[in-house]
Amino acid sequence: MNYFISEDLFVLEAGGSLPGITIAYHTYGRLNADRSNVVWVCHALTANSDVARWWPGVVGEHGAIRPEEYFIVCANILGSCYGSTGPVGAGPGVGENGVGRPENGGERALYSAFPMITIRDMVRAHILLRKHLGIGKVHLLMGGSMGGYQALEWAVIEAGVIERLFLIATSPTESAWGIAVHAAQRLAIEADTSWRDRSPEAGQKGLKAARAIGILTYRNYGIMVQKQTDMDAEKLDGYRAASYIEYQGKKLVERFNAYCYWLLTKAMDSHHIGRERGGDVEAVLRGMKQKTLIIGITSDILCPVAEQRHMAEHLPDSRFIEIDSAYGHDGFMVEGDKIANHLRDWLSAG
Ligand SMILES: CC(=O)SCCNC(=O)CCNC(=O)[C@H](O)C(C)(C)COP(=O)(O)OP(=O)(O)OC[C@H]1O[C@@H](n2cnc3c(N)ncnc32)[C@H](O)[C@@H]1OP(=O)(O)O
Ligand SMILES: N[C@@H](CCO)C(=O)O
């Protein structure tokens, strides 16, 4: 893990500011002589900069994007808890779920006093890092779900820097459905009596419930019935599906923080590539010149394929592919091999 620190005032889109920011990031491979082999990956809500770990089929030694060929960068998003500036502080020593203390002058936690951020703020932080790394062109910018939100924004903001795009399970605006899901998740966090305590443990029960709500939208009816149906017809309690959902909530609490989750769902709600650009999403898409691969997952109930098809219809130079996966929205991470095959094929077509 590397850390980039910018000591300049970072003015936020919604009106607040941060006195400086820290960005935690991973790189894999080497920049080639003419700096033309950069692949930048934007991660989704609860992932982190170690993309080779969470997207192994797609990025890494055995993936479509290999460090032998590309200089791969992935940065932890602003507002998260994996080392970048966020509600629980930043820098080495801050634990993933915010528990721990910053070392080496790392930033202190602001908790609920942390200002509102948007997807554009995340992108502007990535741009600072891009410049710091001496990268002039990004050959391929890619992301799924909220990672795709950042990729789209970045491709609009720096049209001359981003050469190609790969977008999966994502959309040019947050849908009313997504906003409603996030509102329900924040209600769960806010209902926790420890919420807003000035502690990294605040809101953990609420976070568990919020993740449980999220899982219902990251999966779907089919996979739940297929994997979690009880065979014991005599049961009256202790069902597998209930235990699965509870376990998923508990697992997230061990690696994520309620303040960050609350803040990042707000940032997702703000996603709209037409904002301050005339409001016309289709016109903004038509103005994007990058060669773009778009993948939708047929069973995705959070960002349904209709959203990706809509993007493909308006982006001037795109290839659109639907993949079948039982996993729904999270198929964008689980189906690494299928995704890698389409990505390789698209990249080799030039
Ligand atoms: C630091 C890191 O961990 S790096 C990766 C961190 N995660 C991210 O980056 C975010 C993106 N990743 C994700 O959202 C997820 O990891 C995904 C989508 C890729 C895969 O989800 P998973 O939870 O691993 O898969 P799945 O839904 O099949 O659940 C499997 C887990 O549920 C458990 N489980 C399955 N059925 C049940 C049940 N009935 N009751 C209780 N537990 C159950 C399994 O034992 C397994 O546990 P484990 O994760 O401790 O091995
Ligand atoms: N499972 C994903 C969902 C959001 O795309 C995550 O936790 O980041």
Per residue in 166-185, pLDDT (tens digit) is 999 999 999 999 999 999 99
CATH class of 2-175+275-348: alpha beta
Q: Which segments of the chain belong to CATH 1.10.1740.110?
A: 178-268
Q: Which atom of ligand 2 is nearest to the CA of 45?
A: 8
In a 10 Å sphere around its CB, with 0-12 CB exposed, 13-18 middle and 19+ buried, how is residue 180 labelled?
exposed
Ligand nearest to the CA of 143: 2
**Cα–Cα distance between 331 and 321 in angstroms, integer?**
14
Please work out whether the CB of residue 53 comes within 6 Å of at least one atom of ligand 1.
yes
Please work out whether the CB of residue 151 comes within 6 Å of at least one atom of ligand 1.
no
Per-residue confidence band for 100, with pLDDT thresholds at 50, 70 and 90: low
In a 10 Å sphere around its CB, with 0-12 CB exposed, 13-18 middle and 19+ buried, how is residue 243 labelled?
exposed
Q: Which segments of the chain belong to CATH 3.40.50.1820?
A: 2-175+275-348
Contact (CB, 8 A) for 162 and 141: yes
φ/ψ (deg, to 5) at 206: -65, -40
Ligand 2: which of 218, 257, 261 to mutate, most ligand atoms within 8 Å of CB?
218
Angle at the Cα of 131 from the Cα atoms of 125 and 132, rounded to 5 degrees: 90
Ligand nearest to the CA of 251: 1
pLDDT score at 107: 79
Per residue in 198-250, pLDDT (tens digit) is 988 999 999 999 999 999 999 999 999 999 999 999 999 999 999 999 999 99
Ligand 2: which of 261, 265, 330, 335 to mutate, most ligand atoms within 8 Å of CB?
330
**Cα–Cα distance between 196 and 18 in angstroms, integer?**
20
Q: Does 330 show up as a binding residue in the annotation?
A: yes
Please determine, looking at this structure, whether the domain spanning 178-268 carries the CATH number 1.10.1740.110.
yes
Contact (CB, 8 A) for 228 and 203: no
* Whether residue 300 lies in the annotated active site: yes
Please work out whether the CB of residue 169 comes within 6 Å of at least one atom of ligand 1.
no
Q: ipTM, 2 decimals?
A: 0.88
**Cα–Cα distance between 106 and 274 in angstroms, integer?**
36
* Whether residue 26 lies in the annotated active site: no
Catalytic residue among 84, 145, 171, 325, which?
145
- Beta-carbon contacts of 18 under 8 Å, excluding residues fewer than 6 positions away, are 9, 10, 12, 85, 115
What tokens appear for 56 in the block?
Answer: 């192994």
Per-residue confidence band for 93, with pLDDT thresholds at 50, 70 and 90: low
Q: Which atom of ligand 2 is nearest to the CA of 252?
A: 7
Closest residue by Cα to atom 3, ligand 2, is 45
What value does the mean pLDDT take over residues 95-115? Answer: 72
Centroid of ligand 1 to alpha carbon of 154 (angstroms):
30
**Cα–Cα distance between 347 and 278 in angstroms, integer?**
33
Average of per-residue pLDDT values in the chain: 95
pTM of the shown model: 0.95
* Whether residue 271 lies in the annotated active site: no
Residues in the ligand 2 pocket, defined by CB under 6 Å: 44-47, 145-146, 218, 330
pLDDT score at 98: 65
pLDDT score at 261: 98
> CB-side exposure of 278: number of CA atoms within 13 Å?
7
Closest residue by Cα to atom 40, ligand 1, is 244
Please work out whether the CB of residue 244 comes within 6 Å of at least one atom of ligand 1.
yes
**Cα–Cα distance between 79 and 130 in angstroms, integer?**
18
Q: Does the pLDDT value for residue 94 go beyond 70?
A: no
Per residue in 293-325, pLDDT (tens digit) is 999 999 999 999 999 999 999 999 999 999 999
Ligand 1: which of 247, 252, 302 to mutate, most ligand atoms within 8 Å of CB?
247
Q: Does 211 show up as a binding residue in the annotation?
A: yes
φ/ψ (deg, to 5) at 67: -60, -20
